[in-house]
Structure 1
Amino acid sequence: MGEQEIPSTLRRLWGRTERPRRGPKASLSVQRIVAAAAQLADAEGLGAVSMARVAESLGFSAMALYRHVASKDELLALLADHLAAELAMPEHADDWRSGLEAWTRVQIVAALARPWFLDLPLAVLPPGPHRMRWMEAAFAMLRGVGLTGEEKLAIIGLLAQHVLAEARVQSEAGRAAAADVRRTRGLPADTSESELDPADLAAANPMHDFEAVLRHLAGPGEYPEMAAALAEAGPFPTGTPDVDDEIDFGLGIVLDGVEAYVRRRSA
């Protein structure tokens, strides 16, 4: 496949579009469009991002945007790569495990800071240069590990899936708790989470519904193994779950499994 046969979205992502002819510098650019889309998503969520809304925020018509970005799908691909460019790349650690731990954690924290990231259809969006740099960094951390390239790619993919799963659970629990507090307190739907009472958020956490089910509805007669295991664990915590502790726990188990696999393959 020649470069001219590469889809236009990929060429635009990778900066391989034709240079503009001489003349006055265009007042609108792909970079401005993507930055405006990110600001709109930060303020109102990904559902608010449309070609028309982005154009309005920049003071242009939607048709003006289409001269730079072919479609909303292309805009989302550019937006995903824009987010990857904003992430602080972790320093390369002396050992692969601590490097991959930092690599994964940075992405989880970033996704929690911008929950609309989880609404991007990442599985079908073509990768841009900044997303590929993150993959390149992970491969660099695995340099010297006795695995094939295919195995390294599978491990990186596993950690990428963990990023999405962990961030989604944390984000959806937080969203549900905040929505419940706004509803019960009669607050406007756009009240930010930082303005809500932390005690109210803790009480509204979906984990409390899980506790109610286990304590009062799913009795030991029907679920004896679960009841016995949780009886040993003691009472459920009453405060807001510690996000860092939960990230540490899940990521530690995943990396334990990867380390065991590496040792087995090296042997």
Structure 2
Amino acid sequence: MTDEGTTAAGPSTDDGTGDAHVPSTLQRLWGRGAPRRRGPKPALSVDQVVRAAIDVADTEGLEAVSMARVAESLGYSSMALYRYVASKDELLALMADAAAADFALPPYPEGDWRAGLEAWTRAQVDGILARPWFIDLPLPTVRLGPNRARWIDAAFEILGELDLTADEKLQIIGLLAQHVLGEGRVQVETRRAAADAVRREQGLPESTPESELDPGALDRANPFYDFETVLQHFASPETYPHLFAALATSPPPPDGPRHEDGWQDDFGVSLQIVLDGVATFVEQRLASRR
């Protein structure tokens, strides 16, 4: 493997523009790296290192990402990577922002802020499901880089028609961002738990991809699949009177395919409830200015 002779001290926190007081991770996120030194042109780039780390996470999981493993995938020694990133935590921060660049906002009806926010939220949840390791990132490593800032900018564009203050719009964006993380975590961890259970039950190796597992077995292994079983065999109306009363008086779900409004889609239901709350908040804030 190639070694570029750098030290483990990491990149400089000063990019030559007077930003020495800005943390090196933020400088690296925003492309303000250490100034070019004389000598041979660097063999790698920060982007190459980050993309290699993402490839490792995509195929082996976030726990496999280390300076040594990423360097190995590039054909260099781990010490060589410190010329481009200061630490593993900085590498994770760069990965988080780069992953956000791969999330795609689908089209939505122009001028419909609610449809825009729904598309904005769903796109990010879909991005997390495509890269489940995103949920495993330590929260302190998920910093505000240019790609995550673009998503915030997109949300402000969606809300542009509303006569709200910047702080009020940030409250809405922050609420939906929390919903993205919560929904993403529930879906990712539920899928993982179901897949692990199926592998154990069928005696399959831990490395067996989820795509090769029986979909029916995955559904039955879902941790929430046992809800009716628990009620039938363990709970009683005497112990949980309000729960049983609600279920007894609830009308059956409609037959046929899922509704276009997403009512039979758990995520669709929760997102519509959240957006209903946002709509009420918007109405109240606008009314307060009349």
With the length of structure 2 as denominator, give the TM-score of the two structures. 0.84
Partners of 1:243 and 1:73 in 2: how far apart? Answer: 40
- 1:261 maps to 2:281: yes
**Structure 1 residues 150-189: aligned runs within 5 Å:** 150-189=167-206
Please say if residues 97 and 145 of structure 2, whose CA atoms lie closer than 8 Å, have aligned partners that are also in contact: yes
Compute the RMSD of aligned alpha carbons: 2.3
User: As a proportion of its length, which structure holds more helix?
Assistant: 1
Q: Map of 1:189-208 to 2, 5 A cutoff?
A: 189-208=206-225
Distance between the aligned counterparts of 1:261 and 1:126, measured in 2?
A: 28
Give aligned pairs, total: 263
CA distance, structure 1, for counterparts of residue 175 and residue 52 of structure 2: 32
Q: Distance in 2 between matches of 1:210 and 1:78?
A: 40
Partners of 1:64 and 1:265 in 2: CA distance: 54
Cα distance change, pair 199–35 in 1 and its aligned pair in 2 (3 A):
same
- Higher relative contact order at CA 8 Å, sep ≥6: structure 1 or structure 2? 1
SS at match of 1:27: coil
User: What letter is aligned with 1:10?
Assistant: L
From 270, 274, 282, the counterpart of 1:250: 270
1:116 and 2:160 are equivalent in the alignment: no
1:1-267 to 2 correspondences below 5 Å: 3-21=19-37, 23-91=39-107, 93-233=110-250, 245-267=265-287
Structure whose CA Rg is larger? 2
Change (3 A) 1:180 1:233: farther
TM norm structure 1: 0.91
One-letter identity of the residue aligned with 2:271? L
Deviations 1:31-89 (A, max 9, x none): 11111111111111111111111111111111101111001110011000100111223
Deviation per CA, 1:126-180, whole angstroms, max 9, x where unpaired?
Answer: 2111111110110111113122211111110100000011111111111111111
Q: What secondary structure, in the 3-state scheme, does the structure 1 residue paired with 2:76 have? A: coil
Mapped to 2, the partners of 1:95 and 1:243 lie a distance apart of: 20
Map Cα deviations across residues 75-114 of structure 1 (whole Å, 9 max, x no partner).
0110001001112234463221111110100001111111
SS in structure 1 opposite 2:53?
helix
Q: What percentage of aligned pairs have identical amino acids? A: 60
Moved more, 194-203 or 70-79: 194-203
Equivalent residue letter for 1:263: E
| Unaligned stretches of 5+ residues in structure 1 | none
